Amino acid sequence: MDSNRTQAQRKQAVRDNIAGWLFTLPSTIVLLVFTFLPAFIVVYLSLFDTNLVGQMDFVGLANFRQLVTSGDFWGSVFRTLYFTVGSVPVAVAVSLLIAVLLNSKVRGRTFWRMGFFISYITPLVATSIIWLYIFNPDYGMLNAALHAVGLPMSRWLTDTASAMPALILYSTWHDVGFAVIIFMAALSRVPTELLEAAQIDGASGWKTFWHVTWPMISPSTYFVVIIYTISAFKMFTQVEVLTQGGPVDATTTTGFYLYEQAFGQMHFGYASAVSIGLFVIIFLLTMLQRKVTGSKVFYG
Amino acid sequence: MTTMRRSVMWQRVNRVLLYTAITALFLAVVFPFYWMIVTSLQPQDAVFTVPPELWPKHPTFQNYIDAWNAAPWLRYFGNTFFVASASTLISLVTSSLAAFAFATINFKGRETLFNLVLSVMMIPTATTLIPNFLIIRTLGWFDTFYALIIPFAASVFGIFLLRQYFMSTPVELWEAAQIDGASRLLYFRSIALPLAKPAIVTIAINSFLGSWTSFLWPTVMTQSQDKQLIEVALNSFLGEKGQQWSQLAAASVFTTIPIIILFFFVQRQFIEGIGGGGIKG
């Protein structure tokens, strides 16, 4: 009797093992081949000077020496940080303002929310094209508008000094909707009793916001800041369409630099070292995000 | 009496301010779309007018016809639709199966495997682009649809989200199904999966949008014109058309419209998916 039962249990356990591995197998294979394996290959490639079509010279850590000592990589990191510092505070302020406005008793909330969000889901190439036209220094809408209100015009994407601000303007416009949604969700989670208590205590709307709402939503703020920073480091499409990294290298951010070194210059070994540099940066940012917000979800 | 009247007035002023602010921000965000449409309706020479015409004086649909005829757009739409649907469907199947196993089957090495899968999230796709290029070439998949579909046939986000759904499905349901003689697969298909519908919708939208708007990956992994996806094709069109803004705008409009239509249908789920996923662990 007893041995029958353990046998049945053992049979069940074997069946569970088979089922478990079978069910997880397709995902596991895909992840192994296209994520894990590449992670090792990229380390391997980083030790070579290679164009991937014949030339394959072992160079040890020379690519990393070049990475650390040449100014190009750090230049791209610096420009990415410039992009982040220029875009993130504005994006946070604007999206928070929009979210606060939409969370007050406003009619047609779904309609507004959709309008603010729509730029985020529309493809980067299509919207970059219309912004190329808007940024045109000679007949573009932006300069026309600036001129109309008496502000100085700019060469925008065609000038090393103004190309990055233009890229920041476009990207902030495109991505602001994401933060709006995050902040709207965060604001709706702030307990109304807290806000009411503050009001009863005679705090003004402004004071209530700074002393109650702002601390309550700070995890979301950190989340938005870090997600935007990570996506700045990976940014590629809008740079390719708007500036191709130029003029000169004014908008060559790290993601674009990586692509350019690999598929533009065919320096696949060095570009692999850049990939690892990029990985370290994103890894540190992700750790920071997990630590600060306690979130386990990574939106890579 | 007067204080009440004053506060009513104050409220009204507040409301006017509120709507003014929202409308102003809204117009700023939506303006480029308006401008895209206006430009697409302008005769080519009108796009160089200084200052630009805010409203087309002689609107024409000719740009749409010209832009449409200038490239095999139908092919590009077909490619994109095929690739997006295929990778969405396959990744839904693989990730729901895996999530189901992780959530309900007690198999050897489950925790190790799950942690391994989760650790994939730490490896951003941007850093694996070069080795993947090599792998795709080695597999002989360069410039094929396989290169655009199979690497996206698994989704860690999908596994993670669905696992949470399956774990919250009451165990009693599975026990009851077993008593009724249902197999594991039948239970999965007819009970667990339908209960996870909200998660499935969220994952499907993410995956579909992701592959519809993808650009870097197809740029690297494909070459010939008949394999192009819509965004890559649009960028090539920009290269060909230079400053023919009205045709470029027309192409931008018709390549964006499918996404906007899709978004209208699923915007609530999509937005809730993002808003809800933001903080909770």
Q: Is A237 exposed, middle or buried (0-12, 13-18, 19+ CB in 10 A)?
A: buried
Tens digit of pLDDT for each residue in B94-127? 999 999 999 988 999 999 999 999 888 888 888 8
pLDDT of residue B279: 36
Instruction: List, in sequence order, every residue forming a beta bridge with A56; answer none if it has no partner.
Output: A50
User: Lowest mean pLDDT: which of A188-202, B74-88, B148-162?
Assistant: A188-202
Bridging pattern class, strands A56-58 and A48-50? antiparallel
Rounded distance between C-alpha atoms, residue B110 and residue B103, angstroms: 10
- Identify the DSSP state of B242: T
Q: Which of A261, A300, A297 is nearest to A73 (CA)?
A: A261
Q: Does B156 touch chain A (CB under 8 A)?
A: yes
The reply to whether residue B281 touches residue A121, judged by beta carbons under 8 angstroms, is no
**Helix, strand, coil shares, percent, chain A, to 5:** 75, 0, 20
The reply to whether residue A118 touches residue B101, judged by beta carbons under 8 angstroms, is no
Residue A8 pLDDT grade (very low, low, confident, very high; cuts 50, 70, 90) = confident
- Does residue A295 surpass a pLDDT of 60? no
Q: How far is CA A90 from CA A185, B125, B262, in A?
A: 19, 27, 29
* Percent of chain B topping pLDDT 70: 95
The reply to whether residue A23 touches residue B98, judged by beta carbons under 8 angstroms, is yes
ipTM, two decimals: 0.89
Q: Does A149 touch chain B (CB under 8 A)?
A: no
The reply to whether residue B122 touches residue A298, judged by beta carbons under 8 angstroms, is yes
Residue B175 pLDDT grade (very low, low, confident, very high; cuts 50, 70, 90) = confident
Q: For all residues of chain B together, what is the average pLDDT?
A: 89
Sorted by sequence, the CB contacts under 8 Å of residue A9 that are 6+ apart come out as: none
Place of tokens 């662990």: B281
Choosing among A51, A110, A130, which should be mutated to test the B contact, i.e. which has the most B CBs within 10 A? A130
- State which H helix or E strand residue B173 sits in: helix B171-179
Sorted by sequence, the CB contacts under 8 Å of residue A259 that are 6+ apart come out as: A236, A240, B129, B216
Tens digit of pLDDT for each residue in A176-205? 999 998 999 888 888 888 888 887 887 777
pLDDT of residue B38: 94
More confidently predicted of A5 and A164? A164
Nearest CA in chain B to A43: B131
Tens digit of pLDDT for each residue in A47-67? 999 998 888 889 989 999 999
Tens digit of pLDDT for each residue in B231-253? 999 999 999 998 899 999 999 99
- State which H helix or E strand residue B39 sits in: helix B2-40
Rounded distance between C-alpha atoms, residue B252 and residue A129, angstroms: 7
Choosing among B90, B123, B185, B202, which should be mutated to test the A contact, i.e. which has the most A CBs within 10 A? B123
Q: Are B251 and A125 in contact (CB under 8 A)?
A: no
Helix (H, G, I), strand (E, B) or coil at A107: coil
Sorted by sequence, the CB contacts under 8 Å of residue A65 that are 6+ apart come out as: none
Interfacial A residues in 54-93 facing B (CB < 8 Å): none
Interfacial A residues in 195-234 facing B (CB < 8 Å): 219-220, 223, 230, 233-234
b/e map of B208-235 (b: 16 or more CB within 10 Å)? bbbbbbbbbbbbbbbeeeebbbbbbbbb
pLDDT of residue B270: 75
- Identify the DSSP state of A33: I
- pTM (2 d.p.): 0.89
CB pairs under 8 A between A and B: 298
Cis, peptide link before residue B51, omega less than 30° from 0? yes
Q: What residues of B are in contact with residue A297 (Cβ under 8 Å)?
A: 121, 157, 160, 277, 280-281
Q: What residues of A are in contact with residue B279 (Cβ under 8 Å)?
A: 185-186, 219-220, 223, 293, 295
pLDDT of residue A106: 82
